[in-house]
A and B are shown apart, each in its own frame.
Chain A
Amino acid sequence: MYDFNFHSASSVDDAASKLAAAKDGTVMAGGQTLIPVLKQRLASPSDVVSLAGAGLSGITNNGDSVTIGATTTHAAVAASGDVPAALRSVAEGIGDAQVRNRGTIGGSIANNDPAADYPAALLGLGATVTTNQRDIAADDFFIGLFETALNDGEIVKSVTFPNATKAAYAKFPNPASRYAMVGVFVAQAADGVRVAVTGATDCAHRGPRLEAALSANWSASALDGITIPPENLNSDIHGSAEYRANLVIVMAKRAVEAAG
């Protein structure tokens, strides 16, 4: 780890001003991604601003939606009665107990790991990300490999998930890392059928062909015969593009079955 200045922010505004004052600052939420990166000397921020005391943690049931504060941990989401079951299962399936007790929803989506689980849930439920500057629709938020719509210094405050009629997430974990080799979130969401895929490519994305098939017929068998072209899919020692292409369909079917 290289030396850096550490700050504790008391609010989002405080965090924003501390970031603005820093030469090359970064915020920290649960630190589950940031700290390993620092330890391996892969990043050298001048300042680290912790959001732990910024008052961003908490879950609010709005009746037709649920709002989850940016620093709410995966464990808190998994345990919350206010969170719909499909979303709880996403949080429950992240990492291990230690990671779930520290890692946060804001950190996960800001980091946008191509194999992370939450991005699929945000896309699959048509969530809205609220930052200290604006509201961003999930569809516009996840842009590419570890890349989001967030501006420099922009801080996620919360994520709001509209209620869905039916929803489920099916994850095929990478045997080693247990991140998603492929994860598929399906929903009969507020604005129609949504299917979101993570792990398969460089960034979580929606699956328009799967959505069309399921809009016509909400059943696993509706996906029979659809094949995913492997061209742009990830390929590594754990799974080839062809294998991931197969998993997308299988996981989509399983998610539909689980959603009922």
Chain B
Amino acid sequence: MVENGIGASLKRKEDNRFLTGKGNYTDDINRRGQTHVYIVRSPHAHATINSVNTAAAAAAPGVVAVYGGQDLIDDAVGGLVCGASVTGKGGEVNKAPPRNVLTIDKARFVGDPIIAVIAETLAQAKDAAELVEIDYTELPSTVSTANSDADGAPQLHEECPNNVALDWELGDKAAVDAAFAAAHKTAKVELINNRMVTNAMEPRAAVGEYNSGTGDLTLYVTSQNPHVHRLVMSAFMNIMPEHKFRVVAPDVGGGFGSKIFTYNEEAICAWAAKKLDRPVKWTSDRSEGFMSDAHGRDHVSTAEMAMDADGKFLGMRVDSKSNMGAYLQLFSVSIPTLFHGFLLAGQYTTPAIYLEMRCVMTNTAPVDAARGAGRPEATYLLERLVDVSAREMGLDPAEIRRRNFIKADQMPYQTPVVQCYDSGDYDASLDKALGMADYDGFSARQAEAKGRGKLRGIGLSSYIEACGVAPSAAVGSLGVGVGLWESAQVRFNPTGGVTVFTGTHSHGQGHETAFAQLVTERLGVPVENVEVVHGDTDKGQFGMGTYGSRSLPVGGVAIANACDKIIAKGKKIAAHTLEASEDDIEFGDGNFTVAGTDKVMNIAEVAFTAYVPHNYPEGVEPGLDEIAFFDPLNFSFPAGAHVCEVEIDPDTGTLEIVNYTAIDDFGVLVNPMIVEGQVHGGLAHGIGQALLEGCVYDEDSGQLISGSFMDYCMPRADNLPSFNVDYSPTIPLHNPLGVKGCGEAGAIAAPPAVINAIVNALDIKHLDMPATPEKLWRAAQAAG
């Protein structure tokens, strides 16, 4: 057994620097001669920009430059791009209305960037920004997900009649209609998936720096995928060719999806740094973050289930709208369609599913992928519908799930909505979760709580999600604009240390530890001799970055494959040195051994030999440094069963989560401690959505009401219970490491578990998120 390999709960290597204030975040980076940019944003949700006068600002103390959208266009800088082209009804591909880096004629949401003021200090830039005069004609605005496609609604883009960017459908409508016609009973629920602001602890930031001597441009940026940032800025925005452009994502303090995308301010820092030949820095303040970071979720849906007399699901129908905000960001319409629709079968054998999804433009910040991206919306909708179905049938929620589960022996299982699940045992997860949560003892606990004047409820969530989006050809054919493989380079140094370059990016996930453990397991090198490098386009080979819980399932396999190439080459070198045939060389625990002998050569000695090849096999290149690219054959399918138990005070609507049990199937756990941390964080996110978080725009004015932490309620430690976390693993067919991905599961599973517990406590059919004290109080009063 290798020490500190797969399965060891090693403390995170990166935490020393994070906990001692030695992290290096983008805002920590300051370059000589640096200037600061401040962005003048629209105070209106929707307005025509009649004229802009920047003369006074340009003349203000310390001002270096004042730029508007036309300045970038004049320099042939392209606009921000939508990377999705999803084909909707009638073969029509989604609209992609153009977006200038700085909007010129029209402002379309509160916070829409209009003018960039660059000055010697940030204070001077802010002072000058107040002198920018913009003459607006305010226009009526629309922020509503449900109503923005109505006739007569204010129109955002000429390209999108009725504000519809995409009208999409999935599944067999006729089969679903037939299922409903034949149904013994049907169930129906109308629900809202509340809009969220991801609120990473570290706000977005960028520093651009140009070297006029070499013509090289560097952008330090809060990115989850620096190579993708470079690609987009080179290929689509024409800021700098890739080979002259370095993008560095140093330590990044959380992303949750919102740091995937290329943003206006980042493009300005990169472009202006070259234009001015001076470094340009921008750091978002929290208010700007609320206004301009990509938001998440925001669906309104009606979901219906047709059942036979036993409560078996015959067909499911979903009519849904999703809010895209004012512009289509990088993934945009692919999230409510592909990433949402493909998960609607959940863990069930429902034979026919039909989804209609309308993606609408509104006068709000752009909406895009956020932790779970589409899967939380699908899971919430489905797991709520399943509970409503159980209620209609008079069945226990656990029982209706069991009756409809895809059974372990049916794997691999082709769903009617594209995905083919490769592994899973949903009965096993549910049984384990119900046991740990003492489901059978619930009614006694409920009665005891009633004696204390509390309403107690229990709720289940049997979720499945899809990670490691793949294979590239398949996602490409569906309309995702990139390949979703991953790369790794494993480099032995002559003295035996290993440097691993990964194309994924860690912004809190602990890759530097987990990936090192993977290499230790594979190569037998002590974990402290393995350094994981990421986040710099000049250091590592091209990579796709981190989102969709893809880093280990895709990036981890690339690392393992590069290790295997190292071993293969090492065998040649060891065979030569040990004077044996290559076929007789075995590798294990870091040693190359001639089978059946005590002749052995450690991998560090092999590395040294590779770099000092005095006595070396013919035809073998010196050096020990291998690259691998891995394109998976299928998504991975983490799944599980969560049980939430709540108590509600009917006098105030205050809710306490008294018990939360999470049983997850993530396949193999590389570092169980890190996985548990990811589960905890995901649950906090999901519970936050269910109970606390809600991004609210004023329906009339389009102003962002929840624009600060005074009004946007993040989950805090005292909102959360001590979680009971355990696992029920099955081994995936398609993942060579047996891993599935764990970063989003909690955020996907928790919302329906919490709401199902609440409706159980209140004995009602449905209640929309966030379940605020007032909503719970009203429901409790109505329930008497």
Contact = CB atoms under 8 A, between A and B. Distances in A.
B652 A172 contact: yes
Contacts of B709: 176-177
Contact of B126 (A41, A176, A240, A246): A41
Interface residues of B, number: 23
Nearest to B719: A175
Interface in A161-186: 172, 175-177
A219 B549 CA distance: 56
A196 interface: no
B772 A175 contact: yes
B773 A175 contact: yes
Interface string A228-260: 000000001111100100110010000000000
Nearest to B709: A176
A92 B772 CA distance: 24
B710 A176 contact: yes
Contacts of B287: 40
A175 B710 CA distance: 9
B713 interface: yes
Given A243-B777, A250-B652, A177 B706 contact: no
A250 B653 CA distance: 11
B781 to A, nearest CB: 8
A43 interface: no
B777 A176 contact: no
Given A40-B287, A176-B710, A176-B713, A238 B772 contact: yes
A246 B777 contact: yes
Given A40-B287, A237-B706, A1 B123 contact: yes
Contact of A237 (B653, B696, B777): B696
Contact of B692 (A1, A175, A236): A175
Contacts of B653: 243
A236 B694 CA distance: 13
Give the bracket for the number of chain A residues in contact with chain B: 10 to 19
Contacts, number: 44
Contacts of B652: 172, 246-247, 250
B711 A176 contact: yes
Interface in B313-331: none
Contacts of A175: 692, 713, 772-773
Nearest to B706: A237
B705 interface: yes
A73 B705 CA distance: 31
Which residue, of B709, B773, B777, has the highest number of chain A Cβ atoms within 10 A?
B773
Interface string A52-80: 00000000000000000000000000000
A243 B774 contact: yes
Nearest to A237: B696
A60 B774 CA distance: 41
A41 B652 CA distance: 37
Nearest to A115: B710
A247 B705 CA distance: 23
Interface in B684-717: 692, 694, 696, 705-706, 709-714
B773 A239 contact: yes
B651 A250 contact: yes
B692 A237 contact: no
Contacts of B694: 237
B773 A176 contact: no
A237 B651 contact: no
Contacts of A177: 709-711
Contacts of B123: 1
A93 to B, nearest CB: 13
Contact of A239 (B651, B706, B774): B774
A172 B654 CA distance: 9
B463 to A, nearest CB: 26
A188 B654 CA distance: 28
B718 to A, nearest CB: 10
B254 to A, nearest CB: 19
Interface in A187-215: none
A1 B121 CA distance: 13
Nearest to B652: A250
A41 B696 CA distance: 24
Interface string B125-138: 01000000000000
Interface string B632-674: 0000000000000000000111100000000000000000000
Which residue, of A172, A175, A250, has the highest number of chain B Cβ atoms within 10 A?
A175
Interface of B: 123, 126, 287, 651-654, 692, 694, 696, 705-706, 709-714, 772-774, 777-778
List 3 tightest A-B contacts by C-beta distance, closest first. A176-B713, A243-B774, A177-B710
26 contacts: A1-B123, A172-B652, A172-B654, A172-B773, A175-B692, A175-B772, A175-B773, A176-B709, A176-B712, A176-B713, A177-B711, A237-B696, A237-B705, A237-B706, A237-B711, A238-B711, A238-B772, A238-B774, A239-B773, A243-B773, A243-B777, A243-B778, A246-B651, A246-B652, A247-B652, A250-B652
